[in-house]
Chain A
């Protein structure tokens, strides 16, 4: 039993180490010093309080988009549409921020709520189509991503702003930014959203593991036939799962909209927050705590990597490869274990 546990701790550590090692060899092969490279990665993520703040800032939307993917996954749904739901949440939070004039105690919660609702609405449609007509959610959500992107662009340009590339900045009353957090971290963009993200993780754990609703969602995720047999309404659970997942994604959008940026701009492409959320959820084993930890790993790599070209002279492309190696090894260890467990089960 003990040795088993030891192995469980060792395997992920080894896989991170392997990723770093392969990354190091790649750097070495191209004539760069891997030690300086990794040192600058570390410095770039935790070098001083500013970078630490920025890393946490980056972690915030990753937690929420990871939760969004994980939540749907626990109900047996693959929500590729988190990206689009993020964009809609972003847009909604900024729009409410700009359109309404109210004291912060009303304004800020309203903007956050709007983001959650917008994301939820964007998840509702694929959920409905899946539940009622059996249309596969992957296809619908991919399409919904594009609809979200271009709807947001059109609205920003033609409705919210007057032909501009971005909206105005939201007023302080709708903003998650925090002067003392910024001051604490030398003007990083760290904002109160981190608390929302952590709270959301707790909510997800509570819903899935502690409520009858979560019992149904998990049951539907594992076995729809048995759930129907047990008297659960499978369709309603599918829709609900997509709605809650979308709400998490919408909140991730609010983190960017009224946290990091304070405006919405016309986007040339996807934010990738939603797509990265898939990887975060996978690494986190689709559990709330796992997602938080995976988001921290991801945010660290993303922010830290920015420092590698300037500080260590490693080209951006190489940095991307090194980061991909680390993720690959962590992810494949997860897969290897999964296969091992499965084989063991079948062997019995």
Chain B
């Protein structure tokens, strides 16, 4: 079987950084080829080189055995290379058909022949099992269907080689199943697929071969049937990775956080937290499990002062912190790793260094009499970046330029470093790769062992089960059950989260 795409010894540099160095990727006709790497390893750069968005400094690209120069995406299209972007490039107010034909519309006497287009879309959608409604507007259809539109867009342009950029990141489990089915159909119809991902489960499930890159360098290509997730993970991270985090049994001490009869309304004055009671002790991790939208976010915002408490009380170390300002809550001894790191956790346009003192800039030594002392700020930042393995060209780089995992590590470094009594970690590993996840889990356990209380909010049951010493299940605005991870199963938790089973309620 011949290679349909060959990228040989590709090198791509950006000012101050080598994004790709000597990477070779060879894709066979009719296979699903995984491109595996951590966030920031250089996967997207490599694919942008293939798609004509970047020009490589070194290396050769061959398509169907012929050496080519891909100067822009139009050239890539002509060569039959199509890209399904992670962030969809769709016009919300246009219909499915209009989006698919955008840029290469069939014309009839100067007008767009929409009938013909619709027929073509219909045909493609049946051929590849891509269910879409050609006349529906993008804003009215589900994320899964939007992705199918993206796929149809590339097929409509005659793509033979499809690049999927982290396609499952935005999908529900059901939609992921459907997508995998679609990929198999595409292969059966003679297409080839490059799947960019860092999810090992998917690779094992669907891919034929897998090329691993790490820190911009090509590590090698393996046959998927001959390998296992552990091997892939260690290839990607560069060392042995443990999937279930090792930890000693917790030794809970005195109560750190105590919440009593808490009621919180959201912006539309709907009760989101209703009579909630919860205690978190020093030296334990309490996992807050629940389906998104059951008041978890409001609970955390109420504790941290970002949202007004309607009634009830929040106590930290026996003192009330109810309805204090965020600053007073912070200074009372709470650290908060926010759910949405871009919206809350970082000022993306500040250098990463300045982000490291976001709550402490007004204290000595970072400022004196209202004047900032940049030397101290950046010294601190450098120390934290070192300690928490934040990979950044320099402390002066804008936070925006860092990869998600490194941004999150920076936030965790900043929050943990303040030596708080309570750490609230909301979805701390969302969207991160295994290496980063492992690092963050280890850090949280370390902090627990130092005697800190940790409240962990996560929608990933794996994470809750792995990390928590105690699990509080939240449903409909209150805690419906408290269980120990060793006494329960994912199945039982799932039922509790769905509100179909009541257990010993409350935290008393």
Q: Do any beta carbons of A and B sit within 8 angstroms of each other in the complex?
A: yes
- Residues on A close to B: CB < 8 A? 1, 4, 209-215, 218-219, 222-223, 225-233, 345, 347-348
- Taking A211-B372, A212-B361, A348-B45 as contacts, is the C-beta distance between A222 and B15 under 8 angstroms? no
Q: Are B359 and A211 touching (Cβ within 8 A)?
A: no
Q: Bound state CA distance, A254 and B61, in angstroms? A: 66
Q: Bound state CA distance, A201 and B44, in angstroms? A: 43
User: What chain B residues lie within 8 Å of A210 (beta carbons)?
Assistant: 371-372
Count: A-B pairs, CB below 8 Å = 76
Q: Are B370 and A347 touching (Cβ within 8 A)?
A: no
Q: Are B343 and A212 touching (Cβ within 8 A)?
A: no
Q: Are A226 and B45 touching (Cβ within 8 A)?
A: no
Within the complex, the shortest CB–CB distance from A32 to chain B, in Å, comes to 43
User: What chain A residues lie within 8 Å of B346 (beta carbons)?
Assistant: 223, 226
- B388 CB–A CB distance under 8 Å: no
Q: Are B344 and A212 touching (Cβ within 8 A)?
A: no
Among B344, B345, B347, B361, residue most surrounded by chain A Cβ atoms (within 10 Å): B347
Q: Are B372 and A212 touching (Cβ within 8 A)?
A: yes
Q: Bound state CA distance, A8 and B44, in angstroms? A: 27
Q: Are B345 and A226 touching (Cβ within 8 A)?
A: yes
Q: Are A231 and B53 touching (Cβ within 8 A)?
A: no
- Taking A229-B336, A230-B326 as contacts, is the C-beta distance between A222 and B361 under 8 angstroms? no
Q: Are B361 and A231 touching (Cβ within 8 A)?
A: no
Q: Are B354 and A223 touching (Cβ within 8 A)?
A: no
Q: Are B15 and A4 touching (Cβ within 8 A)?
A: yes
- Taking A218-B350, A229-B338, A229-B344 as contacts, is the C-beta distance between A347 and B48 under 8 angstroms? yes
Q: Bound state CA distance, A230 and B354, in angstroms? A: 12
Within the complex, the shortest CB–CB distance from A217 to chain B, in Å, comes to 12
Cβ < 8 Å to A, chain B residues 215-273: none
- B349 CB–A CB distance under 8 Å: yes
Cβ < 8 Å to A, chain B residues 312-359: 325-331, 336, 338, 343-350, 354, 358-359
Q: Bound state CA distance, A208 and B277, in angstroms? A: 44
Q: Are A215 and B361 touching (Cβ within 8 A)?
A: yes
B54 nearest CB neighbor, chain A only: A347
B19 nearest CB neighbor, chain A only: A348
Q: Are B326 and A222 touching (Cβ within 8 A)?
A: no
Q: Are B361 and A223 touching (Cβ within 8 A)?
A: no
- B68 CB–A CB distance under 8 Å: no
What is the interface of chain B mostly: helix, strand, loop, or mixed? mixed
Q: Are A231 and B359 touching (Cβ within 8 A)?
A: yes
Range class of the B interface residue count: 35 or more
Q: Are B349 and A231 touching (Cβ within 8 A)?
A: no
Within the complex, the shortest CB–CB distance from B407 to chain A, in Å, comes to 12
- B141 CB–A CB distance under 8 Å: no
- B69 CB–A CB distance under 8 Å: no
Cβ < 8 Å to A, chain B residues 1-59: 14-15, 44-45, 48, 53-54
Q: Are A219 and B371 touching (Cβ within 8 A)?
A: no
B336 nearest CB neighbor, chain A only: A229
Among A4, A209, A212, A230, residue most surrounded by chain B Cβ atoms (within 10 Å): A230
Q: Are A231 and B345 touching (Cβ within 8 A)?
A: no
Q: A228-B306, A230-B358 are in contact. List 10 more A-B contacts (CB 8 A).
A: A212-B362, A212-B367, A226-B345, A228-B326, A229-B344, A231-B329, A233-B325, A345-B400, A347-B54, A348-B44
- Taking A222-B347, A226-B343 as contacts, is the C-beta distance between A231 and B325 under 8 angstroms? yes
- Taking A229-B344, A230-B359 as contacts, is the C-beta distance between A212 and B326 under 8 angstroms? no
Within the complex, the shortest CB–CB distance from B502 to chain A, in Å, comes to 35
User: What chain A residues lie within 8 Å of B358 (beta carbons)?
Assistant: 219, 226, 229-230
User: What chain B residues lie within 8 Å of A227 (beta carbons)?
Assistant: 347
Q: Bound state CA distance, A231 and B360, in angstroms? A: 10
User: What chain A residues lie within 8 Å of B329 (beta carbons)?
Assistant: 231
Q: Are B400 and A219 touching (Cβ within 8 A)?
A: no
Residue contacts A-B, CB under 8 angstroms, 12 given: A1-B15, A211-B371, A211-B372, A219-B350, A223-B343, A225-B343, A225-B344, A226-B344, A228-B326, A229-B326, A230-B326, A231-B329
Which of A1, A213, A232 lies in contact with B370, CB distance below 8 A? A213
Which of A213, A222, A348 lies in contact with B348, CB distance below 8 A? A222
User: What chain B residues lie within 8 Å of A232 (beta carbons)?
Assistant: 327
Q: Bound state CA distance, A180 and B326, in angstroms? A: 56
Q: Bound state CA distance, A230 and B355, in angstroms? A: 10
Q: Are B371 and A212 touching (Cβ within 8 A)?
A: yes
Q: Bound state CA distance, A69 and B206, in angstroms? A: 56
